């Protein structure tokens, strides 16, 4: 009976130990399952966090890219706006310079036109004054000729004779002018020493003077007969 009790006690102890062992195994298995579950959960959490971080980084990158692109567009718009402003400013400045050049050119052209007009007016006035002077001279001569003809009783030939008489002094002066500058001492005569009445030089001078046209011949060639108180003509020489 004691052996049986001992065996029962041993069996009981063995069963107890087995139960404890099974309990520890079960507990460890449950703990392992729990740890595995925790690790899986943490891994899942880590993956989710990583995906979240990646998504956040991607979103941030996209946001930065979008911001950079927006900034680039803003700068581009500013550049285009500034370029347009400068172009408009250049156009305005060029238009102002063009207008100034046109105004200066028009002013210079107007000045030249006024100068030319003034010069033309001055020339015209000069010609008109000269024409008026010539007209007055001709009118005075015409009035003088008319008065002269009237004073001769309407005899135009007598009036012409009087005019010719006025020119006698000039005609004589012209004849004197023709011989006054002769250098008598430089004249060489080749006719052998002269005539019986004078020297060769005196004969040359006398012949030269006789060769000048007499006043009566000059007047007659002009269709005018000089009055007798100025002398008459014979067949050889004038008196």
Angle CA 7–10–12, to nearest 5: 110
Mean pLDDT rounded to a whole number for the chain:
76
pLDDT at 151: 79
Q: What is the DSSP letter of 177?
A: H
Average pLDDT over residues 70-94: 88
Average pLDDT over residues 113-124: 90
pLDDT band at residue 228 using 50, 70 and 90 as cut-offs = low
Query: Residues 134, 170, 151, 145: what is their CA dihedral angle, to the nearest 10 degrees?
Result: -20
pLDDT by residue (tens digit) across 165-219?
677 677 667 766 766 666 655 555 554 444 555 555 555 555 554 544 555 565 5
d(CA 206, CA 201): 9
pLDDT at 197: 55
pLDDT band at residue 115 using 50, 70 and 90 as cut-offs = very high
Cβ-contact 118, 128 below 8 angstroms: no
Domain ranges of the chain: 155-230
Helices and strands counted in the chain (H then E): 5, 0
Does position 29 have pLDDT exceeding 70, yes or no? yes
pLDDT greater at residue 233 or residue 13: 13
pLDDT band at residue 239 using 50, 70 and 90 as cut-offs = very low
pLDDT at 103: 92
pTM over 0.95? The answer is: no
pLDDT band at residue 154 using 50, 70 and 90 as cut-offs = confident
pLDDT by residue (tens digit) across 56-76?
888 888 889 988 889 888 988
For helices 168-180 and 156-166, angle between their N-to-C axes, nearest 10 degrees: 40
């Amino acid at each position: 009976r004691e052996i049986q009790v001992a065996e029962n006690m041993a069996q009981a102890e063995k069963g107890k130990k087995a139960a404890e062992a099974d309990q520890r195994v079960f507990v460890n298995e449950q703990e392992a399952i729990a740890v595995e579950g925790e690790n899986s959960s943490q891994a899942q959490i880590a993956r989710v966090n990583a995906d979240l971080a990646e998504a956040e980084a991607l979103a941030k990158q996209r946001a930065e890219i979008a911001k950079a692109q927006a900034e680039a567009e803003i700068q581009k718009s500013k550049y285009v706006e500034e370029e347009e402003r400068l172009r408009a400013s250049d156009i305005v400045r060029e238009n102002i310079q063009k207008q100034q050049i046109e105004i200066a050119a028009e002013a210079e052209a107007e000045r030249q036109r006024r100068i030319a007009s003034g010069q033309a007016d001055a020339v015209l006035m000069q010609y008109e004054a000269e024409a008026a002077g010539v007209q007055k001279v001709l009118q005075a001569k015409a009035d003088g000729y008319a008065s002269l003809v009237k004073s001769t009783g309407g005899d135009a030939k007598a009036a012409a004779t009087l005019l010719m008489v006025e020119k006698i002094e000039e005609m004589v002066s012209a004849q004197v002018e023709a011989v006054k500058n002769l250098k008598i001492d430089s004249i060489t005569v080749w006719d052998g020493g002269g005539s019986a009445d004078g020297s060769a030089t005196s004969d040359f001078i006398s012949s030269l003077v006789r060769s000048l046209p007499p006043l009566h011949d000059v007047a007659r060639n002009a269709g005018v007969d000089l009055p007798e108180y100025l002398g008459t003509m014979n067949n050889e020489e004038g008196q």
